[in-house]
Chain A
């Protein structure tokens, strides 16, 4: 088990382009979270999956953001028509069904820079 992996680690794009990030959680972790983090701030919740079902989505999330988790394994986060304000670190975390307190296991993040 190699932990949560995210790809790509860094992405530079021009304003208006679409980007997609991928997250591979720890196998058998049924919960998966996407967060956005800007410099010097705590993680900001974006969306949550339990298995393949997207159970919660931040009200702050514009409709340019969409996430999927087909078959309850890996997940993708797509940002359409990127804006400079989307520049941030995008973190993925997973949590096992067996954890009663919900420990999160994080990936190293995907850093997005929108020019």
Chain B
């Protein structure tokens, strides 16, 4: 069975600096999707960025980028120029392309604190 591990329960970063959140996963499959979702306090979870496993190029979305290392089964999220609004729980998630129910496997999350 696939698993997703986020080894950092909490991270903190100074406003305007860069922070990297770690995620590792375990799977025997070669074709899958990886996601980072953000859950701000008392607000709904939203998708930050996604990566298709067959794409070698790392995904980027404005200040958010990933470092996808398929062989190492690592999928870290880099947030550049951190802003106060980035404070949230960040969840890494995995989905097999073979799963017709589009089921996600979730990590336990990393709480990101932004210091002003």
Give residues in A with beta carbon < 8 Å to B.
3-4, 31, 40-45, 48, 50, 55-56, 91, 93, 95, 101-104, 106-109
Contact = CB atoms under 8 A, between A and B. Distances in A.
Contacts of A44: 106
Interface of B: 9, 33, 37, 42-47, 50, 52, 91, 93, 95, 101-104, 106-109, 111
Contacts of A102: 33, 95, 102, 104
Contact of A108 (B43, B102, B104): B43
Majority secondary structure of chain A interface residues (helix, strand, loop or mixed):
loop
B33 A4 contact: no
B4 to A, nearest CB: 8
Contacts of A103: 47, 50
A111 B105 CA distance: 22
B47 A104 contact: yes
Given A42-B91, A101-B33, A101-B52, A106 B44 contact: yes
Nearest to B9: A40
Given A42-B109, A102-B104, 17 more contacts: A4-B44, A31-B102, A42-B91, A44-B106, A48-B103, A50-B101, A93-B45, A101-B52, A103-B50, A104-B45, A104-B104, A106-B45, A106-B46, A107-B44, A108-B42, A108-B43, A108-B44
Contacts of A43: 45, 91, 104, 106
